[in-house]
Chain A
């Protein structure tokens, strides 16, 4: 992967919730040969509007162009990009482990406390741990568990992020768009 000298950018997109929207977004990455590192899509705080959070390694010039191309799609309401410094962000990871092996460690409490993880579910055969954090943090727990007892299954979510700076809220933006529309329709 060509990530040297490249920065991890987080692209946030607000869109209408229409069929094929994800394809409209990903084809813009495909054209420029960019890998999507993480992707998370869900309903936003506003009904009918979806929010995408996408991370990708790139340079600033390319990101600016990509965000403009995304923003240009008819069904996209707004797209912007940030770097990690601008964001409060989080990922969630689940780890399925063998219960006997976990117990054999003798120090479940130690691992849970050190990693601020928690047990979601448990049977005599398996146990599922959950940890939230940055990639490095969820990865560190994965590494330690892999080395000590092995991990039966592992899944990590895409990033979710909130900007630190005061950004225009989408609802304000929509209101401004409405106002503009009313102005132009009077012309």
Chain B
């Protein structure tokens, strides 16, 4: 069979059912083969290659499977760079397959040639150029193995045209190890015993939950671990939904716009237990003043994360599913009621100073928080939250509530505006049975708005909640707080979004007044298929609490 056909067979062998892509000159052979595989491989035609990668990310994040993107050479693969970099930062398993000019023309500046390996190596877990058809089965197997094992990440396969069209005797290939690659480091029993000892002796333990728990399918192990030793736990934004929102030990969100209680208590706890998180600066603030009083235990599958930002007293290398289970066996049952009670007063402070008037305002324009809160309630807190980046994202992760794991799709590390719409499309294909709610700002929506065409063509049932404040709100917030209210280039003169959606045959409406919000949300959820709800929110709306960039994590602004 041809190399292209072998490629599709290899994808099927890896369990692929959905591809997000966009054809072009050097990918035509792949697309030609795809024509015969329509019943086995669903191809979602996006409107821009960046959208294909974000859709693959959304798919991967909610399903736990590897997301797949197929694009052409040159500009096709160049347009995927943002998605690849985003997947690298957020440890998302995707495989990006690009057509490439024929091998004998490489290096000649041929039409739509790009040094794909050179460009993608710094932002991918692995990048490989396939120059003959015989390598395809091996390369695909290796790509999926690398993308999905250990700390997951993006893999790029650059397949020259001659490899796509030449004939090969295809044999299914499976990769279950690579000698130069250690996906899961060896556990260190002495360290695990030491971690258990520290936790058993702790009076004020605090656990920080990162996406590693979700990626490692360790949610139930985490809960058992926390419950046995009675440890309160807070999440990074990517760790959200690893614990249900209503779990009593879940004491909220960490970081710059996180909850006051866990941020304050980070600098008061005696043992800080970080699980599958990487101490991002948006979580820690000023590292020189971060949790200095605490003994730090760091669980991670990636040895390069240990001591990268925060020095660990004890490192726990390995797969969190196993390390949490084994350490839990060494833990004594404990009761930290007094310590947990201490979180109540800062929580009360946040409710009074921020949450109450964000979620239950009695006058004035709609707030971002109340829209998020009402949508979450209307879905029974069962939906998947997808966000774009900025204020919409922070309002989303602060006020949406979760009942199931893998319910948050957001661009955490790279902070990619324009991520939301295509990621929501991918999330729907990754979890077709679940409601997908996208919160997006007027800025970010216009960065990838062409994906409304994908929604139209592929009948994607996602609920788009546009939080329109007529500003690039997060930058505006910084300008107001730290740049003397000099609103440089953040005001947006926007189109009629409902009409744009209508042009793509997506129903929608504007909601401006509080009294209509419930009905509007109900209408959105009751309408079959995609829907755009444009909520006109306060242009001066702010996301609080806020820890200024680079400040100590306990230096918390609440506004007002």
Enumerate chain A interface residues (CB-CB to B < 8 A).
Answer: 15-16, 19-20, 23-24, 27, 30-31, 64-65, 68-69, 71-72, 74-77, 174, 177-178, 180-181, 185
- List of B residues within 8 angstroms of A177 by Cβ: 179, 182
The secondary-structure label for the interface of chain B is mixed
**Minimum Cβ distance to chain B for residue A164 (Å):** 26
A74-B146, A74-B180, A177-B179 known; A20+B118 contact, CB < 8 A:
yes
A20-B127, A68-B304, A69-B304 known; A74+B181 contact, CB < 8 A:
yes
**Minimum Cβ distance to chain B for residue A179 (Å):** 12
Inter-chain contact A15/B180, CB cutoff 8 Å = yes
Q: Report the Cα distance A180→B121, complex, angstroms.
A: 29
Inter-chain contact A74/B178, CB cutoff 8 Å = yes
Q: Report the Cα distance A15→B121, complex, angstroms.
A: 16
- List of A residues within 8 angstroms of B179 by Cβ: 77, 174, 177-178
Q: Mask for B297-334, Cβ within 8 A of A = 1, else 0?
A: 00000111001100000000000000000000000000
B129 at the interface (CB under 8 A from A): yes
Q: Could you write out 20 A-B pairs with CB less than 8 Å apart?
A: A16-B180, A19-B129, A20-B117, A23-B118, A24-B121, A64-B307, A65-B308, A68-B308, A69-B304, A71-B303, A71-B304, A72-B304, A74-B126, A74-B180, A76-B180, A174-B179, A177-B182, A178-B179, A181-B177, A185-B176
Residue from A16, A19, A27 in contact with B122 in the complex, judged by beta carbons closer than 8 Å: A27
Name the interface residues of B173-203: CB closer than 8 Å to any CB of A.
176-182, 186
- List of B residues within 8 angstroms of A180 by Cβ: 186
Name the interface residues of B152-189: CB closer than 8 Å to any CB of A.
176-182, 186
Q: Report the Cα distance A174→B177, complex, angstroms.
A: 13
Closest residue of chain A to B184 (Cβ to Cβ) is A184
Q: Report the Cα distance A178→B127, complex, angstroms.
A: 25
Inter-chain contact B121/A20, CB cutoff 8 Å = yes
Enumerate chain B interface residues (CB-CB to A < 8 A).
Answer: 117-118, 121-122, 125-127, 129, 146, 176-182, 186, 302-304, 307-308
Given contacts A74-B181, A177-B179, A178-B179, 7 further A-B contacts (CB under 8 A): A15-B180, A27-B121, A64-B307, A74-B180, A75-B180, A180-B186, A181-B177
Inter-chain contact A19/B117, CB cutoff 8 Å = yes
**Minimum Cβ distance to chain B for residue A4 (Å):** 23
- List of A residues within 8 angstroms of B117 by Cβ: 19-20, 23
Q: Report the Cα distance A74→B180, complex, angstroms.
A: 6
Q: Report the Cα distance A72→B125, complex, angstroms.
A: 9
- List of B residues within 8 angstroms of A27 by Cβ: 121-122
**Minimum Cβ distance to chain B for residue A132 (Å):** 32
**Minimum Cβ distance to chain A for residue B281 (Å):** 15
Closest residue of chain B to A174 (Cβ to Cβ) is B179
Closest residue of chain B to A15 (Cβ to Cβ) is B180
Inter-chain contact B176/A23, CB cutoff 8 Å = no
Inter-chain contact A74/B121, CB cutoff 8 Å = no
- List of A residues within 8 angstroms of B186 by Cβ: 180
Q: Report the Cα distance A176→B177, complex, angstroms.
A: 14
Q: Report the Cα distance A185→B127, complex, angstroms.
A: 27
Q: Report the Cα distance A71→B304, complex, angstroms.
A: 9
Q: Report the Cα distance A23→B178, complex, angstroms.
A: 20
Q: Report the Cα distance A178→B423, complex, angstroms.
A: 40
- List of B residues within 8 angstroms of A71 by Cβ: 303-304
- List of A residues within 8 angstroms of B304 by Cβ: 65, 68-69, 71-72
Q: Report the Cα distance A77→B178, complex, angstroms.
A: 10
**Minimum Cβ distance to chain B for residue A59 (Å):** 14
Inter-chain contact A74/B125, CB cutoff 8 Å = yes
- List of A residues within 8 angstroms of B176 by Cβ: 185
Inter-chain contact B180/A77, CB cutoff 8 Å = yes
Q: Report the Cα distance A131→B180, complex, angstroms.
A: 37
- List of A residues within 8 angstroms of B180 by Cβ: 15-16, 74-77
Closest residue of chain B to A64 (Cβ to Cβ) is B307
Q: Report the Cα distance A174→B179, complex, angstroms.
A: 8
